[in-house]
Chains A and B, each alone.
Chain A
Amino acid sequence: MKIVRNSYNPFAELEALAEQFTKVLQTTKEEDLAKDIAFIPAVNTREADDAYYIEVELPGVKKEDINIDIDENTLTISGERKIKEEHKDDTFYKVESYYGKFERSFALPEDADPEHIEAEFKDGILEIRIPKKVQVENKPKKIEIK
């Protein structure tokens, strides 16, 4: 006769949750936590015949406070929305916009050409154009049988 030790454990779910939590904490890099990100901007993405486009909403951010970086296949847009010098001493009655650092990353498709990326900042919208690599025609080769 077997003794089945499978008694009811009221803390099972909590234990599982605690385990998950430690996992998350272990995998979160310290540098990520130190980044201190205040907000994630809204984004629109689309694809045209010859390029991919990413539009990022950044009203009230100065052009010089925006960075675009490419690391292998990841495109990262980061920066900071700062309070203007002239308003530093103001009393804020209402603040609905987020101030501080922002960051958002995108995985680039395989046919994207990271060497020729262009970016324009206009009316609070950052538009990034990532051209597609020019495809080398890959026609199946027919071999003649002699």
Chain B
Amino acid sequence: MANVTQELQNVEQKKAEHGILEKAKEVVTNVARHIPLANIMHNKKKDTYTIEIDLPGVKKEDIQVTIEGNYLIVSAERKMKKELKEDDYYLLESKYGKYYRAFYLSDDIDRDSIQAKYEDGRLIITFEKVPNKKRKDIAVK
């Protein structure tokens, strides 16, 4: 009899330990962030800056773009399809979870000109130069 209660207690304890472990895993995955790949280009003729950020498999509504001080901050979350878990995959090379990346904005970038669109798994952000710093072509008379 004593053995049975002992065993039950052990099971209960194991369950509790497992619960803590699961909770810890959840916390860690929420904090851990992936860094998405980015391309930055500048068009000298139009004086525009473009930042492309690769976010394949992310839903548009799970992307946040903010400007804080001199930084452009992009955060996103790539969620696995509801009905699926990691164990359902034979091969899983994609990274799921949180994505985060910050870009420093120099003084000549016009913050108000920001435009963002999501297209083919890529977030495309464009900026214009501050109007009085824009390139000017002067006609020679």
Contacts and interface: CB of A to CB of B under 8 A. Distances in A.
Interface stretch (A13-21, A72-80, A91-99): A91-99
Interface stretch (A24-32, A53-61, A112-120): A53-61
B42 to A, nearest CB: 5
Given A60-B120, A60-B121, A124 B56 contact: yes
Interface in B79-97: 84, 88-94
Most buried by B among A63, A91, A94: A94
B58 interface: yes
Interface in A98-125: 121, 123-125
A42 B39 contact: no
A75 to B, nearest CB: 14
B16 to A, nearest CB: 33
**Interface size range of chain B in the complex:** 20 to 34
B41 interface: yes
Interface string B35-46: 001111111110
B88 A46 contact: yes
Contacts of B33: none
Interface stretch (B4-12, B22-30, B47-55, B64-72): B47-55
Contacts of A44: 89, 91-94
A45 interface: yes
Interface of B: 37-45, 50, 52, 54-59, 84, 88-94, 118, 120-122
16 contacts: A46-B88, A47-B90, A57-B57, A57-B94, A59-B56, A60-B120, A86-B43, A89-B43, A91-B44, A93-B42, A96-B37, A96-B38, A97-B54, A123-B57, A123-B58, A124-B122
